Amino acid sequence: MRYHPFYCLLFVSSSLIAQQPTPAPADDRVGVYRTTEDPSLELRLDRREGQLIVSILGQGVVPLKEVSPGHYKLAIVKPVVTLDFEKDIAGNIIACRIFQKEPPHTWTRVGETSADPAGDYHLDINPYPIVHILNKNNSLFIQSGLHHESPLIKLGPGTYQYTYDDKKYGVKFQSGAGGAIKSVVITGSYPLRLTRVSKTLPHVSNRVNGFTHADTLQGMLTPVRSCYDVLFYDLALTILPETKSIRGSNTIRWRAVRPFRRMQVDLFENFSIDTIMYHGNQLAYIRDGNAVYVDLPAEVANGSIDELRIVYSGTPLQPDVEATKGGIFWLWDRNRQIWIESVTQGIGASVFWPCKDHLSDRPDSMRIRVTVPTGLTEISNGQLLNKVDLPSGQTRFDWYVDYPIVTYNVVFYVGDYVHFSDVYVRPAGDTLPLNFYCLRYNLDSAKAVFSDAKRMLALYERDFGPYPFPRDGYTALEGIYPMDHQGAVCIGPMRSPFNGDKYDGDVMRTMWHESAHEWWGNNVGCADYADMWIHEGFATYAGFLNVESLSGRAVAVKETLFGSPANKEPIIGVYNVNHFHMGDMYLKGALLLETLRSLTGNDSLWFSIFHAIQRRFRYTPVATQAVETTFSELTGKDYSWFFDQYLRHAAVPLLDLHFRQDGDRLYLTYKWVADVPGFRMPIRVSVAPGRLGFICPTTAPQTMELTGMTEKDFTVDTDHFYVNVKRE
Ligand SMILES: [Zn+2]
């Protein structure tokens, strides 16, 4: 049998959250292990804080407990999964074997039942292991996974046995009325052998681990990438859920920015490239990891418009939940319907389609055609132009994005979706089409959540400016992983697919956050992941503004700006190495905006700056510097010292206070302790009994006299200024 025993992990993985990777000491068991039968099944062993950790791509992470020397079991997972290592003669670990004590499994027939057992069967608990029963000239065979086929030896009526890998398995078909076979029970367990394919774990881009050649290939705008400007992508995909694989092609149309002959496109190395066509001829190419160097037959002239087409196929990576990197999620919904979502922010769009995978270059528009098994709904970005049923039992969905789009926003969702639409009528009377999708059984919840979309859009249009993609309309939908996909905003699952009826009440806040990215990220977005606070700081601040509009600013401060950032690394990452980093850019980004708003002290000026940034950098990848300059220009004040401290240094400015009481007079000596030499932020403090006002500390001490006050009466407005305070 080839179905793997990890489906139980699905039940623990739902509570997993992204964790920051930590460097691991050497351990001779650490590495990547993979089965030969299922290319998508990969297990990683790591050591963290003295503990061995097993992670299964796309599923979850559990600690490994040693039960006796050399023998382990996976914590939490039930039924118990044991793990042993296999060594070569020299004592090196070359594989691990996993064994799960299981009860007999019932596999339910997919589709029509009949007296002939030939057909497909799946587990009720996890859709992707599928067993095929084949009938060849009245001899039955069982096939699972991608390759193996074993003959079924008849033992009695409806009862068979087969052998795989020297192990015997029992097979019993179960029939219903009229003798139609509805399911098959398979007994017997087997150890699953995973070969060690690497002694090191895949590199995760961050400052701690350093950066690699691959990070530079993806993150740097080298001459082989900057030589062309993408105008249009024409992406066509066929999704094959059973093998978790895809086939596809992409036509890349570009304008030459200077004469060139060699160009880089990006496609993850686990895909095979079937052909690259140019003017009817196949092109030569060289692959270097995830980069593909394509050589044109002759140099193209500056300004010329041209195109090539890449045809490719393969099994895309599944998401690595630990490293918060993307991939393709393959799940079932609660009705056992296929549910799929692609998530590529960070890891890069080239994890499933070939493109110039750099944030600095958006096509002017894009066509996306996705073919899925008939009966399922597919959703991509922009406008649905067509839905075509194909004779192959598949349906093609044709989408068009009528605006520039960042490559990581390009998405496919597949599932048993239902659609409903609405219209947002703006105060001025013009309209914006709204489209919503949810899983069939979540329609009531979805209607309740999405009913807040008009209020939210009105708020964002007031505070940030007009919705940036009016021709495509606004679309929000339920999906597996919340993400700000342009024109197809995913708000996450309405209910956990793992926990039955548990309704995720926080999904509306997720809608606020992900929808804010239509302004911050999808319209005005960074040109390099190092500057991603422009997406996340502003989107987190949008959540704050939503609460402020509903409950007031004081409540918003309490409800959304609580907790404290780590302040271990600057918000701005490392440039040119695809430095996708999480952390402080969310909360600290929002806190710095609220601090700057308090500093500005003028809400109409404050929100006019947001509008100006949205207008000035419309559909344009920007650097932090451009955003900063706009703030300084429109406020008429140089705020470079402010942005430098909050964005480019880890530490928060410290307000250093010394008190001396003399009768009813309080003498206060104050100064800033900050990394930026000229740091000079005014801040609101007690300036008289019961009254707040601004003082203007610098990094040099100043003293003020407060009459009728004691140290206890003196407060600093840390609700609206994100600073640390030291009192002596
Ligand atoms: Zn976000």
pLDDT digits (tens, 9 = 90+) for 408-447: 999 999 999 999 999 999 988 899 999 999 999 999 989 9
The pLDDT of residue 212 is 84
What is the separation, in whole angstroms, between the first and last Cα of the chain? 70
Per-residue pLDDT at 590 exceeds 80: yes
- Pairing mode, strands 167-175 and 159-164: antiparallel
- Calpha distance 591→585 (Å, rounded): 10
Confidence of residue 501 (pLDDT cuts 50, 70, 90): low
Confidence of residue 355 (pLDDT cuts 50, 70, 90): very high
The neighbour count for residue 696, using CB atoms within 10 Å, is 10
Asked whether 679 and 671 are in contact (CB, 8 A), the reply is no
Q: Counting Cβ atoms within 10 Å, is residue 391 exposed (0-12), middle (13-18) or buried (19+)? A: exposed
From the CA of 545, how far away is ligand 1's center (Å)? Answer: 15
Per-residue pLDDT at 204 exceeds 90: no
**Coil, strand, or helix at residue 161?**
strand
Per-residue pLDDT at 38 exceeds 80: no
**Coil, strand, or helix at residue 629?**
helix
From the CA of 483, how far away is ligand 1's center (Å)? Answer: 7
Mean pLDDT confidence for 127-148: 78
From the CA of 532, how far away is ligand 1's center (Å)? Answer: 9
* Cβ-proximal residues to 653 (8 Å cutoff; 6+ apart), any chain: 645, 672, 673, 674, 679, 681, 723, 724
Number of H helices, E strands in the chain: 12, 44
- Calpha distance 508→373 (Å, rounded): 31
From the CA of 245, how far away is ligand 1's center (Å)? Answer: 28
Chain-wide mean pLDDT for the chain? 88
From the CA of 433, how far away is ligand 1's center (Å)? Answer: 23
Per-residue pLDDT at 17 exceeds 50: no
Phi/psi region, residue 342 (left: phi>0; alpha: psi -120 to 50; beta: rest), is beta
From the CA of 324, how far away is ligand 1's center (Å)? Answer: 13
The pLDDT of residue 99 is 82
Domains of the chain, CATH where assigned: 13-102 (2.40.128.50), 105-189 (2.40.128), 525-637 (1.10.390.10), 654-727 (2.60.40)
The two tokens of residue 706 are 């407060």
Nearest-CA neighbor of 449 among 427, 469, 429, 479? Answer: 479
Per-residue pLDDT at 518 exceeds 50: yes
The pLDDT of residue 16 is 28
- Pairing mode, strands 489-490 and 474-477: parallel
Higher pLDDT among residues 82 and 300, named by residue: 300
- Calpha distance 317→342 (Å, rounded): 10
Bridge partner list, 432? 424
SS3 for 336-387 is CCEEEEEECCCCCHHHCCCECCCCCCCCCEEEEEEEEECCCEEECCCEEEEE
- Calpha distance 702→683 (Å, rounded): 14
The two tokens of residue 595 are 């601090």
pLDDT in tens, 636-647: 999 999 999 999
The pLDDT of residue 211 is 84
For residue 701, whether the previous peptide bond is cis, meaning omega lies within 30 degrees of 0, is: no
The pLDDT of residue 128 is 59
From the CA of 555, how far away is ligand 1's center (Å)? Answer: 22
Least confident of 32-46, 162-176, 357-371, 381-395: 32-46
From the CA of 476, how far away is ligand 1's center (Å)? Answer: 15
**Which residue is listed with tokens 């609206």?**
720
From the CA of 417, how far away is ligand 1's center (Å)? Answer: 24
- Calpha distance 416→544 (Å, rounded): 33
The pLDDT of residue 126 is 61
**Which residue is listed with tokens 């020297």?**
166
Q: Among positive and negative, which fits the CA dihedral 101, 102, 104, 105?
A: negative
Per-residue pLDDT at 500 exceeds 70: no
Confidence of residue 190 (pLDDT cuts 50, 70, 90): low
Mean pLDDT confidence for 545-569: 90
From the CA of 585, how far away is ligand 1's center (Å)? Answer: 10
Nearest-CA neighbor of 516 among 557, 566, 471, 482? Answer: 482
Ligand 1 is an ion; its neighbours by CB within 5 Å are 536, 539
Mean pLDDT confidence for 609-619: 98
Q: How many residues does the chain have?
A: 728
Q: Counting Cβ atoms within 10 Å, is residue 40 exposed (0-12), middle (13-18) or buried (19+)? A: buried
Record the pTM.
Answer: 0.80
